[in-house]
Amino acid sequence: MKTIDDLEVAGRRVFLRADLNVPLENGRITDDGRIRAVAPTVAKLAQSGAKVIVASHLGRPKGAPDPQFSLAPVAVRLGELVGREVAFAADTVGDSAKETVGTLGEGEVALLENLRFNAGETAKDEAERGAFARELAALADVYVDDAFGAMHRKHASVFDLPQLLPHAAGDLVLKEVSVLKRLTEEVDRPYAVVLGGSKVSDKIGVIDNMLGKADRILIGGGMAYTFLRAQGHEVGKSLLQEDQIPACLEYLRRAEESGVEFVLPVDVVVSPDFPDLKTKAPAPHATVDADKIPADQEGLDIGERTRELFAGKLADAATVFWNGPMGVFEHPDFAGGTQAVARSLADTAAFTVVGGGDSAAAVRQLGFKDDDFSHISTGGGASLEYLEGKQLPGLTALDD
């Protein structure tokens, strides 16, 4: 896989696929982590004399322009981070894009409007996707992919476009892949994997693959209640995937046979109703044993004893991968478990990786800094699929 240093970029139009899919609230960026992650690559290309054409998706527009998903605010923030003005094209391959790109000088940067405003970007039909890729290719001379968060998508700008131009991986992608290899091929032990989030079904592939690699697997979040139910416990109104109970039983059995510690909550914080995340008004809650959840209550966080249990299991780990919050971290009454896991990772000397997505949002919202951890991934879904052992289309397209 070639790198930016293998390309001749001076004076050439470089199409940089970035992942600028940041959260917006009333047109304001609430977490610029992904912009900050790719800014060094943008700056590097510009300083090398490239005419930099940055492109990204944002949100899930339905193949047509939608003002709430415009990248216009991102252009402003990217310019602040790279220390130079970023021109903004009001479309992806139309007149505005062609004019904006056509006027770029060496060392200048432009950002195209949301790629997903064009149905060809995400089309399942190869001909439609390929046609859009050819329109994008006409804007550039070379291609660099630094959008690790989109690497698991077989989209035009990720999979088809690099096959049409000289291509290379960006520095962020190389860093992400290097980190993932440390989690799968060059692991320092003990190796602990912490999984949370809402659904077992979202993490089945990771659990399946990690049972052969990790020394300990700690389960929290909404997915824990399906495991508790598999053990025969009442889970009340807690999130439950009945169809995943057989898989949970199988994983518990395999963990015992293979000597992998499989750690479930011993107590949980419950409430009769899901909290109001807009007002964040205080919610009634109590802590109960994990096997004694009342029928009219819903588990929304791990309890204090579980936090201490998890901290103990992480204290001597040499490698930790964490994906998924331990509870409804967006509400202060149910953020304690996620806060405790983040603190355990921040305090350890282990190689610690926060697996993007909600986990990355949670640690930042809870006041942790990026350098409190060895690495915060920019791609939750891509990281999980890599850890499942799947091939990522974006990486495959960059292979020579």
User: Residue 240's pLDDT is what?
Assistant: 96
Residue 193's pLDDT is: 97
Residues 166, 299: one domain?
no
Residue 232 marked ligand-binding: no
The annotation status of 11 as a binding-site residue, yes or no, is no
pLDDT value, residue 200: 92
Average the pLDDT over 269-292 and give the result.
Answer: 96
Edge-to-edge, what's the strand order for the sheet holding 286-289? Answer: 286-289, 267-271, 298-302
What are the tens digits of pLDDT across the range 381-396? 899 999 988 999 999 9
Residues 185, 167, single domain; the answer is no
Could you say which of 143, 172, 201 is where a domain stops?
172
In a domain, 400, yes or no: no
Both 147 and 109 in one domain: the answer is: yes
Split into its structural domains, the chain has a count of: 2
In a domain, 344, yes or no: yes
Q: Please tell me whether 165 is known to bind a ligand.
A: no
Cβ-in-10-Å burial (0-12, 13-18, 19+) of 77 comes to middle
> Which residues does 84 contact at the CB level (< 8 Å), separation at least 6?
46, 107, 108, 109
Residues 116 and 208 in one domain: no
* pLDDT > 90? residue 372: yes
Which helix (DSSP H) or strand (DSSP E) does residue 254 occupy?
A: helix 245-258
Does 6 belong to an annotated binding site? no
Both 164 and 213 in a single domain? no
Instruction: Tell the burial category of 367 from Cβ atoms under 10 Å away from its Cβ (0-12, 13-18, 19+).
Output: exposed
Please indicate, yes or no, whether residues 90 and 160 belong to a single structural domain of this protein: yes
Query: What is the pLDDT at residue 360?
Result: 87
Mean pLDDT value across the chain: 95
Domain boundary among 172, 201, 231: 172
pLDDT band at 212 (very low <50, low <70, confident <90, very high): confident
In a domain, 396, yes or no: no
Percent of the chain residues past pLDDT 90, beyond the cut: 91
99 and 235 fall within a common domain:
no
The CB-side HSE value for 341 (13 A sphere, CA atoms) comes to: 34
103 and 15 within one domain: yes
Residue 400: predicted pLDDT = 73
Q: Are residues 192 and 234 in the same domain?
A: yes
In three-state secondary structure terms, 392 is coil
Per-residue burial over 183-209, b if 16 or more Cβ lie within 10 Å, else e, is: beeebeebbbbbbbbbebebbbebbeb
Q: What are phi and psi of 330, to 5 degrees?
A: -70, -15
Let me know whether 377 and 284 are in one domain: yes
| pLDDT at 158 exceeding the cut of 80 | yes
Q: Is 299 annotated as a binding residue?
A: yes
Confidence of residue 320 (pLDDT cuts 50, 70, 90): very high
The residue range of the domain holding 62 is 4-172
How far apart are alpha carbons 210 and 261 in whole angstroms? 11
Does pLDDT of 186 surpass 90? no
- Amino acid letter for position 100: T
- 397 within some domain: no
Establish whether 130 is an annotated binding residue: no
pLDDT of residue 165: 98
Within-domain flag for 93: yes
- The confidence band for 357, taking pLDDT boundaries of 50, 70 and 90, is confident
139: nearest Cα among 46, 14, 11, 20: 14
Catalytic residue annotation: 34, 199, 357, 381
pLDDT at 358: 82
State the DSSP H helix or E strand holding residue 73, giving kind and residue range, or none if neither.
helix 72-82
Q: Is residue 361 very low, low, confident or very high in pLDDT (cuts 50, 70, 90)? A: confident
Looking at the domain assignment, is residue 123 inside a domain?
yes
Q: Measure Cα distances from 53 to 19, 41, 66, 250 in Å.
A: 13, 12, 21, 49
Question: Is residue 399 in a domain?
Answer: no
Q: How confident is the model at residue 226 (pLDDT cuts 50, 70, 90)?
A: very high
Phi then psi dihedrals of residue 338, to 5 deg:
-65, -40
In this prediction, residue 26 has a pLDDT band, given cuts at 50, 70 and 90, of confident
For the domain that residue 199 is a member of, what is the CATH number?
3.40.50.1260
Q: What is the reported pLDDT for 290? A: 98
Could you tell me if 151 and 251 lie in one domain? no
From residue 185, alpha-carbon distances to 169, 193, 361, 379, 387 in Å are 21, 15, 27, 19, 11
Q: Is there a binding annotation on residue 105? A: no
pTM over 0.85: yes
CB 169 within 8 A of CB 146: yes
Per-residue confidence band for 281, with pLDDT thresholds at 50, 70 and 90:
very high
Of 38 and 358, the one with more pLDDT? 38
> pLDDT (tens digit, 9 = 90+) per residue, 89-148?
999 999 999 999 999 999 999 999 999 999 999 999 999 999 999 999 999 999 999 999
| d(C-alpha 161, C-alpha 390), whole Å | 21
In a domain, 393, yes or no: no
Q: Could you tell me if 357 and 272 lie in one domain?
A: yes
Domain boundary, last residue among 148, 172, 196: 172
